[in-house]
Amino acid sequence: DLVSQGATRFDGTFPQLDTFLLQKECANAYVLFYKGPLNGDDRDGAETKELLTWLLRNRDTEKESIIVIDSYWAVAPLEQSQLRQYRNGELVIRDLLHHRRTTSSRSGMQYDEEFLDTKATLPQQRNPVRIACPSAQCDSTIKTWNCLHCNTTVNYSPDDRRLYCSCGATSYKHWEFKCEGSRHDWAKYGNGAFLALLDDLQPLPDINILVLGTPRGDCRAAWINGLVKYLAHDSLAGAIAGDDRRDVLSGSFFIQFKDLSDSRGRIIEKRVHMSGFNVIEPLNCEILFGNTLIRFLFMEHFPGGLANQDGSPTEKRGHMPYLGSALRKYKTLHGALVLSGTDSAEIQRRHSIPWLHEALVHFGANVIFAFNNTRGFSYTPGTEAFNLLGRARSHLCEQNAFCFDGEGFRFLAAWRERIDVGYHEENKRGWQHDVAESRRMVNRMRQFSGHDTDAILRVEEVRCIFTGLLDTLA
pLDDT, residue 253, reads: 87
pLDDT, residue 41, reads: 57
Bond from prior residue into 203 cis (ω within 30 degrees of 0): no
pLDDT, residue 308, reads: 39
pLDDT, residue 422, reads: 87
Which positions of the chain have pLDDT values less than 50?
A: 278-280, 301-311, 314, 317-318, 342-349, 351
Q: What single-letter amino acid sits at 276?
A: G
Domain ranges (residues) in the chain: 3-101, 106-203, 207-460
pLDDT tens per residue, range 174-205: 999 988 765 678 899 999 999 999 999 998 88
Q: What architecture is the 207-460 domain classified under in CATH?
A: 3-Layer(aba) Sandwich (3.40)
Which residues, including other chains, have CB under 8 Å from residue 104's CB and lie 6 or more apart? none
pLDDT, residue 38, reads: 64
3-101 and 207-460: identical CATH topology: no
Domain 3-101 class?
alpha beta
What span, in angstroms and rounded, lies between the C-alpha atoms of 70 and 9? 9
pLDDT, residue 262, reads: 85
Dihedral (C-alpha) 169, 247, 179, 231: value to the nearest 10 degrees?
-100
What span, in angstroms and rounded, lies between the C-alpha atoms of 382 and 214? 14
Q: Of 209, 235, 372, 362, give the one whose Cα is nearest residue 292.
A: 209
Q: Of 129, 125, 127, 123, give the one whose Cα is nearest residue 110.
A: 129
Evaluated on CA atoms 314, 317, 318, 320, the torsion sign reads: positive
What span, in angstroms and rounded, lies between the C-alpha atoms of 379 and 175? 46
Is there a contact between 104 and 186 (Cβ–Cβ < 8 Å)?
no
pLDDT tens per residue, range 84-116: 888 777 777 878 887 777 666 678 899 998 899
Element of type H or E holding 95? none
Q: Of 75, 382, 41, give the one whose Cα is nearest residue 214.
A: 382
Is there a contact between 280 and 95 (Cβ–Cβ < 8 Å)?
no
Residue 159: Cβ within 10 Å count: 10
Is there a contact between 177 and 187 (Cβ–Cβ < 8 Å)?
yes
pLDDT, residue 471, reads: 55
pLDDT, residue 14, reads: 53
pLDDT, residue 306, reads: 40
C-alpha R_g of the chain: 24
pLDDT, residue 73, reads: 55
DSSP state of 187: B
DSSP state of 261: T
